[in-house]
A and B are shown apart, each in its own frame.
Chain A
Amino acid sequence: MMAETGILSFGAYVPRKRLQRSVIYAANSWFAPGLRGLAKGEKAIGDWDEDSITMAVEAGRDALTGIDRAEVGSVSLASTTLPFADRLNSGIVKEALNLAEGVSAIDVGGSQRAGLSSLRQALEAAAGRTAPHLCIASEMRITCPASDLELNAGDAAAGLLVGTGDVVARFVGAYSTTADFVDHYRSAGQKYDYVFESRWIKEEGHVALSVQTIKDGLEKIGVAPASIDRFVFPISSKGVAATIAKKTGINPDAIADTLIAQLGEAGSAHSLVMLVAALETAKPGEKILVLGFGQGVDIVVFEVTEAITRLAPRRGVAGSLARRFADSNYTRWLFHRGLVDMEKGIRAELDQKQPATTAWRHHKGVLGLVAGKCSKTGMIQFPKSDISVAPNDRSQGTQEDYPLAEIPAKVMTFTADSLTYSPSPPNYYGMVDFEGGGRIIAEFADIFEEVEVGAHMQMVFRIKAVDDVRDFVKYFWKAAPAA
């Protein structure tokens, strides 16, 4: 029997901050009272130091729980909000995940179904590949204040490891339609989406195009609509999923929660975020239909296997959603997304120019948090150096790669600095010691509760600084309270 093709592993990342929709509405109701109907629940928002790349890294790490990083053969990153238009964004993800030098990487974008489209491509290519593919989708949409989208959109990322072998969800089949149905668009270089009438989008787009694609697709794949156990429809528009289910013969009980109340719609990543959420509770034998919408429709059908019961525990969507911080500071979020200016003070004027030569020399250490371990004394140090830091041994040229990112750490010293410039003051930082050796001074991320010496921390990949003059983002690792 030929090895099965499908999903080998999965993971997700949702930022801990949840902006309360009521505060957005409270700030904007004088201008747009009609938003009231959307002002319920909360939406996940990345902190100032997160973007589609950093979230992709976290989703990728989660998806690779228990998997040897060296096994991954290729990586893709789908998003419509990647920080770089011409610099391989998935290449940064590859470095942060410490994947092998020989991996291929590709960025995918262009529509709200980019995430699912890239997953379909990966599934269909799997048979011809010798190593699994890490398919990530990540989205952090910039939304115009007082727009529907501002209330609906949330930030999140998902990752799926696709390949052959002991799959947790077997790839049953896929089908796509493509049509230039323009429900909204964002021209190259523009900040905001332009959105057309919602009633027309719903009837002619979401319902009509989806129904046709599901009908044609399931017939072609050879799956009865009534046999679908989970219907992943990534759009929160009221009643649409139910209408589609009814018109296609899918059991209405199969409709998956859109996560709109706790997370929001994560754009091109949302199909995959919802798919991961579905997989987290799926039982062997269940059939999952995932849909992606954007200038046409993709559907992909999976059948969950027995292997899912053996998958190592991970954060996933459920774990991410459980670890929340209710944020009521709308202005801070607008500032972090570059939608309102604040007086930063002269301290913020430090030139953040990044010489490319230095970045290249240290790319493994900086992006991958790869330390050195002395082959003679076992001393672990970051960064690497010619001569070991071991006090009683001047071993030279003995340091071997030693990745620190996945190793738990503890706070040794810390402060909350209100003087130094930070987009989110006070700036927490301090020294952390890693289990088994290694020590760094690091900025802290996601501090929502009091820190103390000895607190357990985990490393997270974040934006270190932004060079506003030359439009460059510098990434590094920070210490965040451990889950």
Chain B
Amino acid sequence: MARGIKDKVAILGMGCTRFGERWDMDADNLMVEAFDEAIADAGIDVTQIDAAWLGVGFDAMNIGPSGLPLSIALRLPNIGVTKVENYCASGTESFRGAVYAVASGAADIALAMGVEKLKDTGYGGLPVRSRGTTYDMLGVTGSGPGNFAQIASAYRAQYGIGKDDLKRAIGQVSVKSHANGAKNPKAHLRKAVDIDTVLNAPMIAEPLGLYDCCGVSDGAACAIVTTPEIARALGKTDLVTVKALQIAASNGWELQAAGGWNGSYFHTTRLAAKRAYDEAGVTNPRDQISLTEVHDCFSITELVTMEDLFLSEDGQAWKDVLNGDFDADGRIPCQIDGGLKCFGHPIGASGLRMIYENYLQLLGRAGDRQRQTPPSLALSHNLGGMPSQNVSSIAIVGLADA
């Protein structure tokens, strides 16, 4: 097996904009806002950055092609800038580019930026787009909620869970995230909600109602990474290092092979989680992972993902959620910053936003929402695409000595 990334790369600085309807901002402005925070945190000069990666999900609808938008917005010193797109894993993908560059020794310091300017589309929810000329003839171009709602139907059938029971459990996922988001000044949605509000909201895609769907926002987040040695040489003492970084992409099995996947879980997330735990040396995730930021594009996605990350038993996550296991003061907090649900979901920025929160929590810099039990290992997870065909990414970061 490959030797992996564990402790080879440290985070030097991070930044994240306020997420939301940033009517007065272009993608350029958002990138500058995130970068200003990160470079101040890193304590370096822009000329020290050797290479940069830009993650964006809907490039055709906001920034256009290539890495140039990042290079131009930050006036980078003509370094190599690579744009990556991998559905909702685009932010984590840009982080992977920068981390791998440093780990290889090709760069001393690298930048990962994720950005999305979604509120120029004219409506809520993600833009409708082609999936290629062949797929468009024989696939289904459903909405995000429609695609993810399907896992609820299969999950319910697989474990014989009543319609109302599952609806209440996924409702609780959102109630929890709203409670957390209310404490986060950078979150898009900052209002706590009660379970009845969630249960009685208009149906978007059965069984997902309005509050089962995350906010679609404008925003940017970025990370500056380097080696632990350089970080220390630059005066950093408390280091957060990368423990694992894994991406698993569907190869068509779930969607095409009858009798295989049963539709009730994320095949890729299970693979990525196993690899990530191996890479990080995590043998018992329930005891060792202190914090999670998982891809809660929809409440059902978060619920099922807790099983796919092996943090709940199969078919039990709905009970664990109702039991408060993933609350801010629970067994393993999930979305302590509000998650995609309330922090918001600017696609390309989301993976980096999650790492940003984990970074702050690990360093005890999370303010009002700081986890009381000091965390040591924090996991972030993205799921791009749809349950039957997707890209799953997992990043585990932790204190250098953890």
Contacts and interface: CB of A to CB of B under 8 A. Distances in A.
B146 A427 contact: yes
Interface of B is mostly: loop
B142 A429 contact: yes
Contacts, number: 138
Given A429-B140, A476-B137, A417 B123 contact: no
Query: Which size bracket describes the interface of A in this complex?
Result: 35 or more
A437 B260 CA distance: 10
Interface in A420-466: 420-421, 426-427, 429-431, 433-434, 437-443, 452-454, 464
Nearest to A412: B263
Interface stretch (A11-19, A97-105, A205-213, A343-351): A343-351
A88 interface: no
Given A415-B150, A476-B137, A438 B142 contact: no
Contacts of A415: 142, 145-147, 149-150, 152-153, 205-206, 208
B288 to A, nearest CB: 30
B138 A416 contact: no
A227 interface: no
Contact of A383 (B123, B125, B138, B257): B138
Interface string A354-373: 11001101100110000000
A431 B263 contact: yes
A422 to B, nearest CB: 10
Contacts of A383: 134, 138
Contacts of B106: none
Interface stretch (A157-165, A195-203, A385-393): A385-393
A355 B134 CA distance: 9
B149 A417 contact: yes
A381 interface: yes
B258 A439 contact: yes
Interface in B198-228: 202-206, 208
B315 to A, nearest CB: 15
A112 to B, nearest CB: 35
A380 B137 contact: no
A418 interface: yes
Interface residues of B, number: 47
B154 A417 contact: no
Nearest to A477: B138
B130 interface: yes
A420 B388 CA distance: 18
A413 interface: yes
A421 B205 contact: no
Contacts of A389: 251-253, 256-257
B122 interface: yes
Contact of B153 (A420, A442, A443, A453): A453
A454 B157 contact: yes
Interface string B116-159: 00000111010011100110011111111111011111101100
A358 B138 CA distance: 11
B387 interface: yes
A427 B142 contact: yes
Interface centre among A355, A413, A434, by most B CB within 10 Å? Answer: A413
16 contacts: A345-B123, A349-B128, A350-B141, A362-B134, A413-B151, A417-B143, A417-B149, A418-B205, A419-B204, A420-B141, A420-B143, A421-B128, A429-B140, A430-B150, A439-B256, A453-B153
Closest 8 CB pairs of A and B: A417-B146, A415-B149, A413-B150, A453-B157, A419-B143, A420-B143, A416-B206, A417-B205
Interface of B: 121-123, 125, 128-130, 133-134, 137-147, 149-154, 156-157, 202-206, 208, 251-253, 255-260, 262-263, 387-388
